[in-house]
Amino acid sequence: MKRLLLPSIAALCACAPNPPAPVQVMALAPNQTGAYATVQVELKTLSNLANLKGSVAELLGGARVVVDPNDPLQNLNGGIQNMTDDQRYEVLVKDKGADVRGHFIERAGVYWPADFHTWNMVSAYYNFEKSYEYFVKVYDGVEPTELQKMRVMYWANVRLNSTEPMTDNALYLSFIKSFVIVPFSQDQKLVPLAMNIGVVGHEVAHRAFNHKVLEDQGIHPALTSWTGSSFNLLKSLDEGLADFHGFGVTCPEPAGCRPNFLDVSIADQSIVNMRNVARTDACMDENTRNAFFQFSPDQWVRSTDMYKVGNLIAASLYQAANKVGDVGVMQKALLAAYDDPSPVNPGLRQLINSNLNTPQAVTLESVTNIIVAHVTEPQMKKELCNEFSMRLQLKCGSFPCAEMPACPSTAGRPTQPCPLLPPLP
Amino acid sequence: MIRLLLAATLALSLSAFAQDDDDAPIPYDDDSGENTAAPKTIKRHRDTLREEEEEALEREETLTHLDDPNIGVGGEFLPGLMLLESSKGAGTEARFMYGFRFTWEFGRLIPDEFLREMFFADVTWQYAAYGDGTAQVHTDTNYHYFTLAPAFAIPFGKSFMSAYAQLGLGFNYTATSQYVGADRIDLAGTKFLFQYGLGLRGRPAILADGSVRITFRVELTRFLRGYMSDTFIGAGIGVLF
What's the complex ipTM? 0.85
Q: For residue A172, report the phi and psi dihedrals to the nearest 5 degrees.
A: -110, 120
User: What letter does residue B85 receive in the DSSP assignment?
Assistant: E
Say whether pLDDT at B15 is over 60.
no
pLDDT value at position A19?
87
pLDDT of residue A20: 86
Measured in Å, how far apart are chain B's first and last C-alpha atoms? Answer: 31
Q: Between helices B2-23 and B37-67, what is the axis angle to 10°? A: 160
Tens of pLDDT, residue by residue over B115-143, are 888 999 999 999 999 999 998 899 999 99
> Where does the pLDDT of residue B65 fall: very low under 50, low under 70, confident under 90, or very high at 90 and above?
low
pLDDT of residue B16: 38
| Residue of higher predicted confidence among B58 and B121 | B121
Q: Is the pLDDT of residue B29 over 90?
A: no
CB contact under 8 A, A13 and B132: no
**Per residue in A41-59, is it b (16+ CB within 10 Å) or e — as a string?**
bebebbebbbbbbbbbbbb
Q: Which of B134, B139, B189 sits opposite A190 (nearest CB)?
A: B134
The phi, psi pair for B147, rounded to 5°, reads -140, 155
Nearest-angstrom CA–CA distance, B135 and B119: 49
User: How many Å lie between the alpha carbon of A367 and the closest alpha carbon of chain B?
Assistant: 40
- Residue A146 identity (one-letter amino acid): E
Contact: B132, A37; criterion CB under 8 Å: no
Place B55 in a pLDDT band, splitting at 50, 70 and 90. Answer: low
The C-alpha atoms of residue B165 and residue B219 are separated, in whole angstroms, by 9
The separation between CA B190 and the C-alpha centre of its own chain, rounded to angstroms, equals: 29
For residues A123 and A195, is the Cβ–Cβ distance under 8 A?
Answer: yes
Amino acid at position A209, single letter: F
pLDDT-derived band of residue B22, with 50, 70 and 90 as boundaries? very low
Q: Provide, as residue numbers in chain A, all residues whose Cβ is less than 8 Å from the Cβ of B130.
A: 115
Residue A111 CA: distances (Å) to CA of A51, A118, B180, B229 = 14, 11, 18, 20
Hey, which residues does B229 pair with through a beta bridge?
B224
A240: left (phi over 0), alpha (psi -120 to 50) or beta: alpha
Helix (H, G, I), strand (E, B) or coil at A158: strand
Q: For residue A393, give Cα distances in angstroms to A127, A271, A289.
A: 35, 22, 9
**DSSP codes, A67-118:** E-TT-GGGGGGGSGGGS-HHHHHHHHEEE--EE----EEEETTEEEE-SHHH
CB-based contact B141 A99, cutoff 8 Å = no
Q: Which residues of chain A have pLDDT under 50?
A: 1-12
CB B97 within 8 A of CB B127: yes
Which of B135, B188, B228 has its CB closest to that of A101?
Answer: B228
Q: How far is CA B155 from the centre of its chain?
A: 11
Q: Scanning every residue of chain A, which has its alpha carbon at the shortest distance from the alpha carbon of B191? A: A13
- The proportion of chain B whose per-residue pLDDT surpasses 90, expressed as a percent, equals 57
The band of B42, judged by pLDDT with boundaries at 50, 70 and 90, is low
* Chain A residues in contact with B226 (beta carbon < 8 A): 13-14, 16
Which residue out of A13, A51, A111 would a mutagenesis test of the B interface target, given it has the greatest number of B Cβ atoms within 10 Å? A13
Model pLDDT, residue A18: 83
pLDDT tens, B139-180?
Answer: 999 999 999 999 999 999 888 999 999 999 999 999 999 999
Average pLDDT, chain B: 82
Helix H or strand E encompassing B233: strand B228-240
> Is there a contact between A16 and B226 if contact means CB atoms under 8 Å apart?
yes
Q: How far apart are CA B155 and CA B164, in angstroms?
A: 9
Question: Which of A14, A106, A154 lies closest to B224 in CB terms?
Answer: A14
